[in-house]
């Protein structure tokens, strides 16, 4: 009896050992141990080495999605084959089908076409290139064996998680999908650049657009920096000013930066910025900004122009340029300054002050102008300009005085 029991017990132990040996466990293997450790460490996941009764197990959360990796056996060709299984559980956020999001008509807007193109690329990467499957809110990737290059597996897994992130963004959130796609280095550089451009142009002011702009604000291409600064609205003012002060960038880009600055609905901030630009030590920057102020007839810059024209430290050439702009802007509050400039040391300033007064001056300007026309020590051309200004003011004020040509040009 005892012998029979001993035999049965021995058979039971033998069968148990056989089951354990052939079960889905991780055999002591330094290469496999390294692979799993490296994988878990680089992805920030929890690793359980397993043992006799279970195989290795990795779990955790990545980008808000549950991640699991384990092993399993599958019968094949008369023997069991070991596989490594990786699963991303994205839940309800992962769509069940792609027909509506992977297609776009030629008439669709650029954002929708780019999102559809990216969706098709991601589906192709998931199914054809990586060999993953998707169902019930989960993406599965299966690899034979328990030993593989951890770097290759990590790259594949990161790509899967990144694709799942994109697919989980609601199909109506085109801005969100564009931002995600623009950061996806697996996509062509031109497509990513186009995504950022459309994002900043079509969704300016949104969180996604601001994020894309922030990533481009230091781009080496000045046109790209300008596009980013424009999309930021008033938050882009510091960048616009920096570009306006930079004589090293193409003039058309600098002009565009200053012109956009003048169009922003933030008079106080812009006026302060224009002051910074006009006081630049670079003559080219000064001329550029003054030209844009004149074209826009930007009234908030008047106080800065008047202050600079009254500053004895400003060169005669700059005062002359400012005086011409004041005349073209036509603000009569600058008349006292222009009268004072009739006695400026620089002849060109005096000439342009006379022209400006002819355009906007009132009766108070007549005395100083007429005095210059009578003086024997006054330049002939200046006398002519003063005489023309007097006639213009008298005609405009209904005082008579002939049909003088208003606003003669200073030579």
For the chain, give the percent of residues with pLDDT over 90: 67
Q: What mean pLDDT, rounded, does the chain reach?
A: 87
Enclosing H/E stretch for 334: none
Count of residues for the chain? 411
Render pLDDT for 228-245 as a digit per residue (tens, 0 to 9): 999 999 999 999 999 999
Which pTM does this prediction carry? 0.73
Q: What is the pLDDT of residue 2?
A: 53
* DSSP string for 305-330: HHHHHT-TTS-HHHHHHHHHHHHHHT
Q: Which of 24-38, 125-139, 396-410 has the lowest mean pLDDT?
A: 396-410
- Relative to beta strand 79-89, strand 138-144 is antiparallel
CA distance 103 to 110: 13
Among residues 278, 354, 348, 342, which one has the least CA distance to residue 316?
348
Helices (H), ranges, 89-149: 110-124
Strands (E), 114-257: 133-135, 138-144
Q: Which of 9-23, 313-327, 328-342, 385-399 has the lowest mean pLDDT?
A: 9-23
* DSSP string for 57-81: EEEEEETTEEEEEEEEEEEETTEEE
Enclosing H/E stretch for 80: strand 79-89
Which DSSP letter does residue 104 get?
-
Q: Which residue has the higher pLDDT, 190 or 96?
A: 190
**95 pLDDT higher than 80:** no
Structure tokens at 233: 């609205």
Q: 65 burial class (0-12, 13-18, 19+ CB within 10 angstroms)?
A: buried
β-bridge partners, 230 = none
Residue 121, Cβ neighbours under 10 Å: how many? 20
List of domains in the chain: 26-172 (3.30.1460), 173-216 (no CATH), 233-296 (no CATH), 299-411 (1.25.10.10)
CA distance 62 to 43: 8
Structure tokens at 148: 């593989």
Q: What is the pLDDT of residue 58?
A: 94
**342 pLDDT higher than 50:** yes
Q: What is the pLDDT of residue 100?
A: 55
Strand order, beta sheet including 57-62: 46-48, 57-62, 65-76, 79-89, 138-144, 133-135
């Amino acid at each position: 009896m005892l012998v029979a029991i001993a035999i049965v017990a021995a058979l039971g132990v033998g069968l148990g050992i056989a089951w354990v040996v052939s079960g889905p466990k991780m055999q002591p293997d330094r290469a496999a141990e390294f692979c799993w450790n490296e994988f878990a460490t680089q992805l920030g996941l929890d690793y359980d080495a397993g043992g006799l009764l279970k195989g290795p197990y990795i779990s955790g959360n990545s980008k808000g999605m549950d991640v699991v990796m384990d092993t399993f056996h599958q019968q094949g060709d008369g023997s069991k084959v070991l596989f490594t299984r990786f699963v991303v559980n994205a839940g309800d956020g992962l769509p069940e089908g792609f027909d509506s999001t992977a297609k776009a008509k030629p008439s669709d807007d650029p954002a929708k076409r780019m999102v559809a193109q990216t969706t098709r690329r991601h589906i192709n990467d998931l199914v054809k290139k990586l060999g993953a499957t998707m169902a019930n809110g989960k993406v599965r990737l299966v690899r034979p064996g328990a030993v593989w290059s951890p770097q290759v597996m990590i790259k594949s897994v990161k790509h899967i998680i990144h694709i799942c992130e994109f697919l989980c963004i609601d199909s109506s959130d085109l801005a969100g999908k564009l931002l995600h796609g623009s950061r996806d280095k697996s996509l062509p550089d031109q497509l990513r650049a186009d995504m950022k451009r459309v994002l900043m142009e079509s969704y300016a002011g949104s969180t996604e657009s601001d994020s894309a702009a922030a990533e481009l604000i230091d781009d080496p291409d000045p046109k790209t920096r300008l596009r980013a600064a424009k999309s930021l609205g008033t938050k882009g003012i510091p960048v616009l000013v920096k570009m306006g002060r930079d004589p090293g960038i193409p003039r058309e880009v600098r002009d565009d930066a200053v012109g956009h600055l003048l169009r922003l609905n933030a008079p106080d901030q812009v006026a302060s910025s224009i002051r910074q630009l006009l006081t630049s030590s670079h003559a080219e920057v000064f001329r550029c900004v003054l030209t844009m102020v004149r074209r826009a007839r930007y009234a908030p810059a008047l106080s800065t122009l008047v202050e600079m024209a009254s500053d004895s430290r400003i060169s005669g050439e700059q005062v002359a340029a400012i005086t011409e702009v004041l005349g073209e802007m036509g603000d009569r509050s600058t008349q006292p300054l222009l009268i004072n400039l009739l006695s400026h040391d620089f002849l060109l300033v005096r000439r342009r002050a006379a022209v400006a007064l002819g355009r906007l001056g009132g009766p108070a300007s007549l005395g100083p102008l007429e005095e210059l026309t009578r003086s024997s020590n006054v330049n002939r051309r200046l006398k002519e300009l003063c005489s023309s200004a007097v006639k213009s003011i008298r005609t405009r004020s209904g005082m008579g005085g002939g049909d003088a040509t208003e606003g003669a040009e200073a030579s």
